[in-house]
């Protein structure tokens, strides 16, 4: 993997979008979630799979630092960070499905986006119900509603709406690349 000045600049722009969206998370996760999911996949498609995986790991960490009042940060504090790997792995699942779908073809890309969103949601929801809630039941107390929100259909919504953003952005980037060649 060759790191160029252009890749570093593009990565910086995508990271800036993630950081801005983390500040929006306290206002609406229905806006920030899909955009962050889109950035993770665009990073993988445009910069390489390792950038997408790296951003998938970095995004939840930045949320804790930037969005202290968000439900995710409260859950992280109540579960001593156990939820962070779940979110990171969920992000990576989504990125991998989209990335390898794109490598196969256009129809597979759309299918990868949809399946990636669904599998991410199922993984995160399952981990919340089978691991996080049982392990930290007494710590969570009133945060159970937040756990349900963070790991529920919000994840499916974020992934699917992220896919709606990713697909046209990816096509536009490809068209610009063809035009410049």
pLDDT digits (tens, 9 = 90+) for 60-94: 999 888 877 777 778 888 888 888 999 999 999 99
What percent of the chain has a predicted confidence (pLDDT) above 90? 59
Whether 139 has a pLDDT exceeding 80, the answer reads no
Which of 81, 77, 75 lies closest to 151, judged by CA? 75
pLDDT at 53: 98
Please state the rounded mean pLDDT for residues 170-180. 89
Q: How far apart are the C-alpha atoms of 61 and 88, rounded to whole Å?
A: 9
CATH code for the domain in which residue 158 is found: 1.10.1760.20
Is residue 43 within 8 A of residue 92, CB to CB? The reply is no
């299918």: which residue's tokens?
111
Residue 116 tokens, joined: 């990636």
Please state the rounded mean pLDDT for residues 138-158. 82
Number of domains in the chain: 1
Q: Within 13 A of 64's CA, how many CA atoms are on the CB side?
A: 15
pLDDT at 144: 81
- Three-class DSSP labels, the chain: CCCCHHHHHHHHHHHHHHHHHHHHCCCCHHHHHHHHHHHHHHHHHHHCHHHHHHHHHHHHHHHHHHCCCCHHHHHHHHCCCCHHHHHHHHHHHHHHHHHHHHHHCHHHHHHHHHHHHHHHHHHHHHHHHHHHHHHCHHHHHHHHHHHHHHCCHHHHHHHHHHHHHHHHHHHHHHHHHHHHC
Whether 106 has a pLDDT exceeding 90, the answer reads yes
pLDDT at 1: 64
Whether 108 has a pLDDT exceeding 80, the answer reads yes
What domain range is 64 assigned to?
A: 5-180
**pTM over cut 0.85:** yes
pLDDT at 71: 78
Q: Tens digits of per-residue pLDDT, 17-50?
A: 999 999 888 788 889 899 999 999 999 999 999 9
Please state the rounded mean pLDDT for residues 152-172. 92
The answer to which of 8-12, 22-26, 90-94, 109-113 has the lowest mean pLDDT is 22-26
CA distances from 165 to 8, 38, 42, 75, 110 (A): 23, 6, 10, 28, 12
């Amino acid at each position: 993997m060759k790191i160029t000045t252009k890749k570093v600049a593009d990565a910086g722009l995508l990271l800036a979008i993630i950081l801005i969206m983390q500040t929006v998370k306290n206002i609406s996760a229905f806006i920030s979630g899909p955009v962050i999911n889109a950035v993770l996949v665009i990073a993988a498609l445009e910069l390489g799979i390792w950038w997408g995986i790296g951003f998938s790991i970095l995004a939840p960490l930045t949320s804790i630092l930037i969005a202290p009042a968000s439900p995710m940060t409260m859950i992280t504090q109540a579960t001593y960070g156990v939820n962070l790997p779940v979110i990171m792995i969920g992000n990576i699942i989504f990125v991998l499905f989209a990335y390898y779908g794109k490598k196969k073809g256009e129809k597979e890309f759309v299918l990868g986006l949809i399946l990636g969103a669904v599998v991410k949601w199922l993984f995160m929801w399952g981990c919340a119900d089978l691991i996080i809630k049982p392990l930290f039941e007494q710590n969570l107390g009133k945060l159970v509603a937040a756990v349900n929100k963070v790991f529920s259909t919000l994840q499916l919504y974020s992934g699917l709406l992220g896919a709606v953003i990713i697909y046209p952005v990816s096509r536009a980037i490809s068209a610009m690349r063809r035009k410049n060649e």
